[in-house]
Structure 1
């Protein structure tokens, strides 16, 4: 996923079976999962999200530079919706 400067992902939930590994390819990403503090991850850092996680914040931490995030989903084949936006 490429985040333009100041780019934001809407809050969402992940599939009940989805284990997610995320790696910051470039720039810096601010991320927060429900029940955990917000954190900024920089180029070369990684994090994971547990199955069914409620992702409250995902955004480019910079207002001037783009950021790129590689996310790998390990999910049951029956789960078709990987993310569901909050309403």
Structure 2
């Protein structure tokens, strides 16, 4: 079999994104995240060093990034966030009867933290209120 034909027949594109920026000399980190049933995820935060790309391995995530309504991302689906100043409001487990497991690959500017939590004043100024997906 032609190797190009094999590649064509074995790959499934899950998402194709043009990120708003990729930091010069970016470092790449891939992490696995696991939340128990009903877990609200981490508090609202930013990824100042660059964009993040994720894939749900198991379960369902309530995913909400600034400027977009919350949505449910299910096992086998991908998500991304632009990083920088964009606020990542939710990454909660949408299910109370099963765990959530996902992987995230982050492109980060050298010396930047993986994530930075919002303080109470900044969160209040953003006007965000936790909502369920439509």
Q: TM-score by structure 2 length?
A: 0.61
What 5-or-longer segments of structure 2 have no aligned partner?
Answer: 1-32, 120-134
- Greater Rg over alpha carbons, structure: 2
What 5-or-longer segments of structure 1 have no aligned partner?
Answer: none
CA RMSD of aligned residues (A): 1.0
**Does residue 1:48 correspond to 2:80, yes or no?**
yes
**Secondary structure in structure 1 of the residue aligned to 2:103:** strand
Q: How many residues align?
A: 85
**Does residue 1:21 correspond to 2:53, yes or no?**
yes
Residues 54-69 of structure 1 mapped to structure 2, 5 A cutoff: 54-69=87-102
1:75 is aligned to 108
User: Distance between the aligned counterparts of 1:59 and 1:51, measured in 2?
Assistant: 18
Normalized per residue, the structure richer in helix is 2
The alpha carbon displacement at 1:85 in A equals 1.0
Q: TM-score by structure 1 length?
A: 0.91
Normalized per residue, the structure richer in strand is 1
**Secondary structure in structure 2 of the residue aligned to 1:23:** strand
